């Protein structure tokens, strides 16, 4: 089991033992020999800042805990506080994450939504490709951001199954990552692949919509 997932489930294990309670600036024209040359130089130079600006749509990460509708949270993570908990970040302007988790009866669910703002579309695309390569075995999610990928994996430890889904989305120079997992501590079984995958994609769609509605650089 991945270290991160073990950390997520550790509170549940403890509770279970106790009884399952777990632009640069404006263009300045360069002097030219004649007016035609000046106009031509101005047109060419003015296009450069526009291109640079277009390659960085987002300037800051949105508030992650406000990115999902309350009804979505209560549906995906029954029993969780809808306010969520924002995790500490070394630079909250470019990287923010919110987490929800709850144990209701014997059913445990965990949901993370993370936003990362990179320097350019190219940087985001490179990071996206690296993530997709690392998390092989999934598939593309059409119609979500500029590109999106979803993967679901099942792990078993001490006969207890946990199924975790991850959706990675690139939207211009931003990356949105959703992680969603669950376990049933009575049956020892995990939720179905379909349930986890659909839940993660639903959360990702709302998170991308929140990004698009937020501040743009």
- Boundary of a domain, candidates 37, 54, 71: 54
45 plus 139 within the same structural domain: no
81 plus 111 within the same structural domain: yes
pLDDT of residue 56: 74
pLDDT of residue 215: 54
pLDDT of residue 9: 52
109 plus 202 within the same structural domain: yes
209 plus 158 within the same structural domain: yes
109 plus 181 within the same structural domain: yes
Q: What is the pLDDT tens value at each position of the chain, 217 positions in all?
A: 444 444 555 444 433 333 333 333 333 334 444 444 444 444 444 444 444 444 579 999 999 999 999 999 999 999 999 999 999 888 888 999 999 999 999 999 999 999 999 999 999 999 999 999 998 899 999 999 999 999 999 999 999 999 999 999 999 999 999 999 999 999 999 999 999 999 999 999 999 999 998 754 4
46 plus 95 within the same structural domain: no
pLDDT of residue 40: 47
SS3 labels along the chain: CCHHHHHHHHHHHHHHHCCCCCCCCCCCCCCCCCHHHHHHHHHHHHHHHHHHHHCCCCCCCCCHHHCCCHHHHHHHCCCCCCCCEEECCCCCCCEEEEEEEEEECCEEEEEEEEEEECCCHHHHHHHHHHHHHHCCCCEECCCCCCEEEEEEEEEEECCEEEEEEEEEEEECCEEEEEEEEEEECCCCCCCCHHHHHHHHHHHHHHHHHHHHHCCCC
30 plus 94 within the same structural domain: no
- Its domain, for residue 103, covers 57-213
Q: Indicate whether 10 belongs to any domain.
A: no
CATH of the domain at 79: 3.40.1000
pLDDT of residue 89: 85
pLDDT of residue 91: 84
Q: Indicate whether 4 belongs to any domain.
A: no
Q: Indicate whether 16 belongs to any domain.
A: no
Q: Indicate whether 179 belongs to any domain.
A: yes
Q: Indicate whether 92 belongs to any domain.
A: yes
42 plus 113 within the same structural domain: no
Split into its structural domains, the chain has a count of 2
pLDDT of residue 193: 97
209 plus 115 within the same structural domain: yes
152 plus 170 within the same structural domain: yes
27 plus 70 within the same structural domain: no
- Boundary of a domain, candidates 9, 32, 54: 54
Q: Indicate whether 188 belongs to any domain.
A: yes
108 plus 42 within the same structural domain: no
């Amino acid at each position: 089991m991945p270290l991160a997932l073990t950390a997520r489930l550790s509170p549940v294990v403890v509770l279970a033992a106790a009884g399952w309670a777990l632009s640069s600036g404006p263009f300045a024209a360069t002097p030219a020999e004649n007016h035609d040359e000046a106009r031509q130089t101005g047109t060419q130079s003015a296009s450069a800042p526009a291109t640079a600006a277009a390659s960085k749509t987002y300037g800051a990460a949105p508030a992650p805990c406000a990115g999902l509708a309350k009804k979505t949270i209560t549906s995906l993570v029954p029993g969780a506080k809808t306010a969520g908990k924002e995790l500490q970040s070394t630079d909250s302007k470019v990287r923010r994450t919110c987490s929800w988790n709850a144990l209701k009866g014997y059913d445990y669910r965990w949901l993370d939504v993370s936003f990362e703002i990179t320097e350019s579309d190219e940087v985001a695309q490179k990071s996206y490709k690296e993530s997709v390569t690392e998390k092989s075995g999934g598939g593309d999610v059409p119609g979500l951001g500029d590109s999106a990928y979803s993967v679901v994996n099942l792990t078993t430890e001490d006969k207890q199954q946990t199924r975790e889904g991850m959706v990675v989305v690139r939207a211009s120079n931003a990356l949105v990552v959703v992680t969603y997992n669950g376990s049933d501590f009575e049956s020892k079984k995990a939720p179905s692949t379909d349930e986890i995958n659909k839940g993660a994609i639903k959360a990702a769609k709302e998170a991308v919509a929140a990004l698009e509605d937020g501040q743009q650089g």
